[in-house]
C-alpha cells in the first residue's frame, strides 16, 4: 500500500510542478490533494519517497530532485502567502509535513526570554496600547518585531509601541495546516 501511495504522491508532485507533462485537469483536485498530503496521518517516510523517486523520476529527469519537486506545490498550503517558503537543502526530513515545518524555521533562531509566560491576545495588546503594523520585506515569514519610540537623550521609551507582524491569510484550510504543524512539533518534542 505504501508503494502505491508513494508512487501516486510522486506522480502528483511531478505533474503539478511540470505543467507541460501534466494532465491533472481540475485545479480543485490539485488544491484539495495537497492539503490532504500535509495531514499527519497521511505521511509516508521521506526516505521511502526518496528511494521511489530515485528509481523512477530521476531515471528520466536527471535534473529533478525530490525537494525541488515537492517545494513549489507546498506553496499552495502556505498561510503566509506574501512570503515564499524557504527552500530547504536538507534531505533528512521525516516526511512531507516535516519539510513544510522546516520551511518556516529560522536559521538564527534564539530562544524566547519568556519561555513559560502566557502570551497575551491581540485584543489584550490593543487595549494595552500596542499598535499593529503589517511586516514589510521580512527576511523570515514569521518574524515579529516590537518597535518603541525613544528620545536620544532618554533611556525610556515614550508613546505606544508598534508590533510588526506577518499577515496570515485565512481560508478553509488554514486551521488544517496549522493544526498539523502543531501536531508535528509535538511529535518532535516527544
- What pLDDT was estimated at residue 89? 63
Q: How confident is the model at residue 32 (pLDDT cuts 50, 70, 90)?
A: confident
Residue 139, C-beta contacts closer than 8 angstroms, at least 6 positions apart: none
Is the model more confident about 40 or about 147?
40
Question: Can you give the pLDDT at residue 6?
Answer: 92
Predicted TM-score (pTM) above 0.95: no
List the domain boundaries for the chain: 2-108+169-189, 122-165
| CA 151 from centroid of its chain's CA atoms | 39
Which of 18-27, 64-73, 85-94, 96-105 shows the lowest per-residue confidence on average (mean pLDDT)?
18-27
pLDDT bin (cut points 50, 70, 90) of residue 87 is confident
Residue pair 67/86 in contact by the 8 Å Cβ criterion:
no
φ, ψ for residue 111, nearest 5 deg: -75, 155
- At 171, list the grid cell: 481560508
* Segment 101-156, tens digit of pLDDT: 888 877 766 655 555 667 788 888 888 888 888 877 666 767 777 787 665 555 55
Amino acid at each position: 500500500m505504501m508503494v502505491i501511495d508513494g508512487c501516486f504522491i510522486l506522480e502528483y508532485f511531478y505533474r503539478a510542478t511540470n505543467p507541460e507533462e501534466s494532465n491533472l485537469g481540475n485545479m480543485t483536485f490539485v488544491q484539495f490533494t495537497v492539503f490532504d498530503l500535509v495531514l499527519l496521518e497521511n505521511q509516508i517516510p521521506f526516505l521511502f519517497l526518496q528511494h521511489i523517486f530515485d528509481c523512477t523520476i530521476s531515471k528520466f529527469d536527471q535534473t529533478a530532485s525530490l525537494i525541488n519537486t515537492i517545494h513549489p506545490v507546498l506553496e499552495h498550503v502556505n498561510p503566509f502567502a506574501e512570503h515564499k517558503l524557504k527552500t530547504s537543502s536538507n534531505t533528512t526530513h521525516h516526511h512531507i509535513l516535516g519539510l513544510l515545518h522546516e520551511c518556516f524555521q529560522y536559521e538564527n533562531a534564539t530562544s524566547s526570554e519568556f519561555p513559560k509566560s502566557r502570551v497575551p491576545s491581540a485584543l489584550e495588546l490593543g487595549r494595552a496600547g500596542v499598535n499593529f503594523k503589517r511586516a514589510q520585506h521580512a527576511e523570515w515569514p514569521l518574524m515579529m518585531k516590537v518597535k518603541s519610540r525613544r528620545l536620544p537623550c532618554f533611556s525610556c521609551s515614550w508613546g505606544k509601541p508598534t508590533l510588526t507582524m506577518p499577515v496570515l491569510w485565512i481560508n478553509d484550510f488554514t486551521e488544517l495546516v496549522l493544526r498539523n504543524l502543531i501536531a508535528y512539533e509535538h511529535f518532535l518534542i516527544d
